[in-house]
Amino acid sequence: QQHAYKLFALDIDRGELIPVNCLSGHALFLSRDRSLSVSARDLPSVNSNSIYFSLHRDPVVVHSVRTGFSERLAVSCQIHDGKDRIRPSVRLSPLLTIF
């Protein structure tokens, strides 16, 4: 199943929707009840000009505003199954000891 997405900014003064084709190096995270915009420059694992969200069957989808393409992220990124946590949300890296 394919989905189509279009992003708009609302100009309140004019009452118009303006098409958006760039997030100026930010990434937008959307959920049902909140959203968050972050600078991708400060987070190397986040793609700039992208929207991250979840669909009913896909744990996380990333949509590129620039190219218009979307992709499902790896299921291994999933930390819950919609009901219960199945993985820790933070994965610790092994510590290295240098002699």
* pLDDT tens track for 41-80: 888 888 899 998 876 666 678 888 888 888 877 655 666 6
Q: Is residue 28 part of a domain?
A: yes
Among candidate residues 51, 74, 73, the one with its CA nearest the CA of residue 5: 51
pTM: 0.64
pLDDT per position as a tens digit, 6-40? 888 899 999 999 998 889 899 998 887 888 899 99
Per the domain annotation, does 38 fall within a domain?
yes
Which domain does 52 fall in, by range? Answer: 23-73
pLDDT at position 96, please?
46
Q: Within a domain: residue 7?
A: no
Q: Is 33 part of any domain?
A: yes
Name the burial class of residue 51, with classes exposed (0-12), middle (13-18) and buried (19+) by CB atoms within 10 angstroms of its CB.
buried
Any domain includes 55: yes
